[in-house]
Amino acid sequence: MAVDKFPVEGSHIMMFARSVGDDNQIYYDDEYAKGTEPGGVIAPPTFAQSSAQFDPDYFLRPKPGADWFGSGKEATGIKKEPGSGGGGGGGGGLHAEQHFEYHRHIGPGDVLTATVKQGEGWEKEGKRSGKLIFSETITEYHDQNGELVITARGVGVRTERPVDQ
């Protein structure tokens, strides 16, 4: 997702590290982090994914006054059923691959931008879910000095039907 301004903040890093069950002090303790090789708090390796928080239009976040496809009284808040079970992930498709290249490790105080390029698309016949439609996006994160800090490549997949269990 393209993001104009992704301010990297200490409390967000702490919450993100907690959510992946990582209690490493380098993600929340300034004093401890000063004595480590990076010399300060840094973000965990997959933190850039949370740039979704800074995309005002991110489609997997409910927004005030807008319909939301999750459940309330009914199983979905969208009157018209979203596709015919299409997507295999309930609207967002499924995440097939994710790759990161770290040019520098980011930390609190960095202000990033994310620019997105559409990559390749391809199709495959899946045993457990029918036709699979893959699409690739490449996201480049630059810092406040215009330096490239992270290159991310994601592959999403939409399935013909939910994946058999």
Partner 1 sequence: MALSASNLNAGDTYTESLVEDLKRTQIVMYAGASGDYNPVHTDEKFTKELAGYPSVFAHGMLTMGMTGTMLTNYVGDGRLTKFGVRFTSQVWPGDSLNATATVEDVTDGIVNLKVETTNQDGTVVLSGYAAARVD
Answer yes or no whether residue 46 interacts with partner 1 by CB under 8 A: yes
Of the candidate residues 12, 113, 136, 160, the single one contacting partner 1 (CB under 8 A): 12
Answer yes or no whether residue 45 interacts with partner 1 by CB under 8 A: yes
Answer yes or no whether residue 97 interacts with partner 1 by CB under 8 A: yes
Of the candidate residues 2, 5, 15, 144, the single one contacting partner 1 (CB under 8 A): 15
Answer yes or no whether residue 4 interacts with partner 1 by CB under 8 A: no
Tell me how far, at minimum, the Cβ of 82 lies from partner 1, in Å. Answer: 8
What phi, psi does 97 have (nearest 5°)?
-150, 155
Distance (Å, rounded) from C-alpha 23 to C-alpha 27? Answer: 8
Residues from 25 through 44 that contact partner 1 (CB under 8 A): 26, 36-38, 42, 44
- Tally the C-alpha atoms within 13 A of residue 73's C-alpha that lie toward its C-beta: 1
- Tally the C-alpha atoms within 13 A of residue 98's C-alpha that lie toward its C-beta: 8
Chain mean position to CA 121: 19
Q: Which of 138-154 are b and which e, b meaning 16 or more Cβ less than 10 Å from the residue's Cβ? A: ebbbbbeeeeebbebeb
Inter-residue contact 138 to 34 (CB < 8 Å): no
Of the candidate residues 9, 29, 89, 126, the single one contacting partner 1 (CB under 8 A): 89
Q: Which residues bind partner 1 (CB under 8 A)?
A: 12, 15-16, 18-22, 24, 26, 36-38, 42, 44-46, 49-50, 52-53, 58, 60-62, 69-71, 75-76, 81-82, 85, 88-92, 94-102, 105, 153, 161-163, 165
